[in-house]
Amino acid sequence: MDTFHIVRPARKAPINQTLVGYVGSGDLEVMIDNSDSPQADIYIHSSSSAGEQRWLALIERIEANQPLPMMRMDIHDFSATPGVIRLRLEQALEQALTKEASYE
């Protein structure tokens, strides 16, 4: 298991506590919570061998659509594919930014 802490510039936006996914084979859980720091703090636990660069690339791809909100994001990854990771990240951000507080 590898752990990474990635810090990204972020915009000020109201967010809801959000949790999507689960830590089962080929999947991941993504949790978004409020944070006092003026940035996006992303903490990653991953059982895959992909390094920090791949995570950074994935996050940059998501940022291309819209900048991240100020938040704390935790990712618990059980060897998910990049496609699944991207889906979960987008799902989590969408819920955090648009819906009422929700997790399942």
Partner 1 sequence: MSNAQDSRLNTNFVEQGARKRIEYVLDSGSMRELVTPFDRVISPWLEVQGIVPQFDDGVVVARGAIDGKSVIAIAIDGSFQGGSLGEVAGAKIAGALELAVEANQAGESIAAVLMFETGGVRLQEANLGLAAIAEIQSAIVALRKLQPVVALITGPVGCFGGMSITAGLCSYLLMTREGRLGLNGPQVIEQEAGVGEYDSRDRPFIWGLTGGEQRYTTGLVDDFFGSDVIEVRNKVQEYLRKGVPDTFRSEAIQSSLDRLKNVDTQHQITSEAAREIFAKGASL
Residue 95 CB, nearest approach to partner 1 (Å): 8
Residue 82 CB, nearest approach to partner 1 (Å): 17
Closer residue to partner 1 in complex, CB, 37/103: 103
For 30-62, give the DSSP string: EEEE--SSSEEEEEEEE-SS--HHHHHHHHHHH
CA distance 48 to 81: 9
Residue 46 CB, nearest approach to partner 1 (Å): 7
Contact (Cβ atoms closer than 8 angstroms) between residue 6 and residue 55: yes
- Of the CA atoms within 13 Å of residue 38, those in its CB half-sphere come to 0
Contact (Cβ atoms closer than 8 angstroms) between residue 58 and residue 86: yes
Instruction: Tell me which residues in 75-94 interact with partner 1 (CB under 8 A).
Output: 76-78
Instruction: Tell me which residues in 28-67 interact with partner 1 (CB under 8 A).
Output: 29, 31, 33, 45-47
Closer residue to partner 1 in complex, CB, 63/82: 82
Binding region for partner 1 (CB under 8 A): 1, 17, 19, 22-24, 27, 29, 31, 33, 45-47, 74, 76-78, 99-104
